[in-house]
Structure 1
Amino acid sequence: MDDIDEEMLVRMASNTTIYAVICVFACLMRRRSRRKSISYHPNTCQKEKIVSRARHISRVFNGFNESCRSYVRMRPHAFEKLVSIMRYTGLLQDSRDVKVEEQLPMFLNILGHKTKNRIVRSHFIRSGETVSKYFNKCLEAVGHLRGRYMKQAPNELSSGIAANQLYYPYFKDCIGMIDGTHIDAMLPANLVARFR
């Protein structure tokens, strides 16, 4: 009698295990088929956001004469060239939702105007996380361009500085300017005397 009960318990356990495996497999197959049938169709609210974004970008680049220059600190032709360089070198790529033509204006506007994340977020109707993500991607991409387009000045000391005792001790390690360009710097009032 005990052998029959034991045999019955083993049979019930194995049947339960087989049934559980079949249920899990059926659920996975159903979930997988549901995922395949779902396609991305933006609802009305999302469509309005997409249209507003496109209008904003169009206004920046096709608005009045200086709108592009005042928004991203570049002329439209220079901006298009930058976009093509970023794409050609593979430093920036279009994502499913954000194209390079939108990534760069967000980045350049933040740099050119010290714009806060929340302001750019409202202009482009994006989340703060998205703005931050693409800002960092663009920053990294621009960092990779540094070697191609910026040339360090030679490490030679000007004879005017070397011969003058007023300048030499203070400017003996001065490396000069980057690519012959002077960069205007604004210092806090308490530091101005130190860098004069």
Structure 2
Amino acid sequence: MYIPKYFKVKDVDEIWSFVQKNSFGTIVTTEQGKPIATHLPLQLIKEEDSYYITGHMAYGNPQWRTFGTCEDVLVMFQGPHAYISSSWYEKENVPTWNYQAVHVYGIASILDEEELKQDLTMLLQKYEKHRENPVLWENLSPEILETQLKGIVGFKIKVKEIQAANKLSQNRNEEDYHNIFNKLYEEKDLNSQQIAQVMERKLKQDK
């Protein structure tokens, strides 16, 4: 991912926090030179000094079979994004787009059945434990679990390289920066309002 110096994120804790909050990612591999992508809920796991991206996909999805032949797997995570009108600048310029994104490169391997069960248990805990009637692994019938496990393939990707960008108008002057996030708050689009929140929060953190 091309990242100008203004927008490059180097803080690993900040990057992983972003991944945890925006964990519906895109996995990209290649088959005979052709890119293949799947959109999936993913988890970030730390084992000793290594980080892993874990998840599962349908057995019928041919992409998992490319894990053994691809030297690198690319996983992309994206946050809110918004159009930035140049009418919000003090001086004449062209429009742009603000966004947050993380690219992770790594080596993929297939989970065994016990590893897959553990990963699914954690996934349900993450998305169900706060609900009034949580659907947790231990609450599901053995018949349902057996059927579902036959239809999916679990995987983990050992992280080798991380690229992260926060393109949030950091290259603009202070007056433009304030005007941009105030204008974004006025937009009806939820993504625009979320980017405004991120920009305002970053401004307070940097003071």
TM range, normalised to the smaller chain? under 0.3
Q: Give the TM-score normalised by structure 1.
A: 0.23
More helix by share: 1
> More strand per residue: 1 or 2?
2
Query: Which one has the largest radius of gyration?
Result: 1
Q: Report the TM-score when normalising by structure 2.
A: 0.22
Structure ranking higher on relative contact order (CA contacts 8 Å, 6+ apart)? 2
